[in-house]
A and B are shown apart, each in its own frame.
Chain A
Amino acid sequence: AQSVTQLDSHVSVSEGTPVLLRCNYSSSYSPSLFWYVQHPNKGLQLLLKYTSAATLVKGINGFEAEFKKSETSFHLTKPSAHMSDAAEYFCVVSRSDGNEKLTFGTGTRLTIIP
């Protein structure tokens, strides 16, 4: 079985300060991992994905994430928050055994303080 735990349901940071959204995963197989972002009343958009190549993955809008197998973590970071980053972020795991279903975390709501 696979699962994803997003350790914070809500994160608030000031504009211009670093962002850290934490995600731990559990998978019996070599996983692929994704971060999706959902702005209010919108669909989900891919930020970045890890597919067993480089462990440090760069995504859109200055976000990046590091896959750490020893810690079973895939935390999302950004050096400097912008007001437009306010949204809900989902960490997602996909199996590697031909079963392509995604398992979503419960989401982290990011608030940016002006």
Chain B
Amino acid sequence: NAGVTQTPKFQVLKTGQSMTLQCAQDMNHNSMYWYRQDPGMGLRLIYYSASEGTTDKGEVPNGYNVSRLNKREFSLRLESAAPSQTSVYFCASSEYGGQTDTQYFGPGTRLTVL
């Protein structure tokens, strides 16, 4: 039981390049999330998917797109990377997305945009 896995662990991009961050969970959870973590700012929600087939914007969605490929997988795409997107990205999942649900986090992807 691997929990939440993310690939890649590290990535360096040049401004304007695109890439997709992959996330998968094996806990049969309905809800999945993408966060970014910046120094001194805690985690901020980029996008989330309450259930398979649905996605919604979070607090900081600009410059990102997401795809809920199936129940297990939720990818985050940067179409044209900018230095402001340098951050650590975390994927998370929860069983139902309810107020009291525990979110389970992946190990993160450290992205640098030059």
Contact = CB atoms under 8 A, between A and B. Distances in A.
B34 interface: no
Interface SS of chain B: helix, strand, loop or mixed?
loop
B107 A106 contact: no
Interface residues of A, number: 25
Interface stretch (A61-69, A79-87, A89-97): A89-97
Interface of B: 4, 31, 40-45, 48, 50, 58-59, 90, 92, 97-108
A96 B103 CA distance: 16
Contact of B42 (A32, A101, A105): A105
A71 interface: no
B28 to A, nearest CB: 18
Interface in A32-64: 32, 34, 36, 41-46, 49, 51
A32 B105 contact: no
A43 B41 CA distance: 16
B43 A90 contact: yes
Contacts of B40: 9, 106-107
Minimum-distance CB pairs A-B, first 9: A104-B42, A43-B105, A51-B100, A44-B105, A104-B43, A100-B97, A106-B42, A43-B107, A94-B99
